[in-house]
Amino acid sequence: MRLLGYCLRETWLGIRRNPFLSLATVLTAAIAMFVLSVFLLGAANLANMIEFVERQVQVSIYLKDDVQLGERNDILSRLRDLEGVDEAAFVSKEEALARLRVAFGDNASLLEGIEEFNPLRDSIEVRVLEAAAVDAVVAAVKDNPSIDDISYGRELVARLIVVTRSLRLAVLGLAGLLGLATLVLIQNSVRLSVFARREEVLIMRLVGATDGVIRLPFVFEGIVLSCVGASLAAAAAGAGYVYVWRFAGYNLAFLPILPAASVMQWLVPAVVVAAALIGAIGSLLALRRWLRE
């Protein structure tokens, strides 16, 4: 507790002694974390859109006319137990015709009299959580004698798998690069503060202070200033996101954008924690030179 009190006291004194450097560190952290926040918001919505598109992938399994109820239920049960399957539902040919009437809209009269020789087939519609699960669904039923045909858009699904994997890898790569750039910016800002107090560091070493005692106040200072900047960045990014979310809700309702309330629940903690870690690491890296001498 005594060491904690010392660190907090020295952190406060360091900020008071160097208000302009402290303000510069806060602003640097705020700008860097604002960019990171915008990226995280974009990445989260991109991931949500990818999941939305993948959930639209549907496998239509057409049954033969003589399939019994027990056989049909066995197929449904097997499909629902597969990993990656969101829903598997039976669609009778009568229900399929009703859907066709709705799809035709004002031209539904063209289907009059078709009920007598309904050409549609009973089917099972399978929705998956991700496109990669389609192959497992097809493999589970393709050799079943009760199955007449399977339709799922093979080429489209293959392309979707490639695109979604590439986008996920790109997001991870960009997140790593952006985090590294943020670390460098905050490290350079903290380094200026350490340079301004280099004599203090040298005096502490001369009187026998250990490296840990010297480091801790600077680490606390880096964490505090980074978190203050991150809080400002998260507030600004959150306010901007609320505006974009409302605008999209009125004008781009077809886009699956994450609700602002759910986004803010994780954005603020994530950005502040990331800033604390980056501030601590940046302070440690900035001190290496002075502790070596």
* pLDDT, tens digit, 9 for 90 and up, residues 96-122: 877 777 777 766 666 666 666 777 788
Averaged confidence pLDDT in the chain? 78
Annotate 112-136 with b (16+ C-beta within 10 A) or e (fewer): eeeeeeeebbbbbebbbebbbbbbe
CATH of domain 58-151: 3.30.70.3040
Q: How far apart are CA 241 and CA 74, in angstroms?
A: 47
33 pLDDT tier (thresholds 50, 70, 90): confident
Which pLDDT does position 244 carry in this prediction? 86
pLDDT of residue 113: 63
In 3D space, the residue among 239, 221, 288 whose CA is nearest the CA of residue 29 turns out to be 221
Name the residue among 179, 33, 61 with its Cα closest to residue 128: 61
**Secondary structure letter of residue 257 according to DSSP:** P
Mean pLDDT of 193-219: 71
Q: What is the pLDDT of residue 156?
A: 67
Q: Which strand (E) or helix (H) includes residue 29? A: helix 19-55
Do 17 and 196 contact (CB within 8 A), yes or no?
no
Residue 292 pLDDT exceeds 60: no
Q: What is the pLDDT of residue 9?
A: 72
Residue 82 pLDDT > 60, yes or no? yes
> What are the residue ranges of CATH 3.30.70.3040 in the chain?
58-151
CA distance 234 to 151: 46
What share of the chain has pLDDT > 70, as a percent?
79
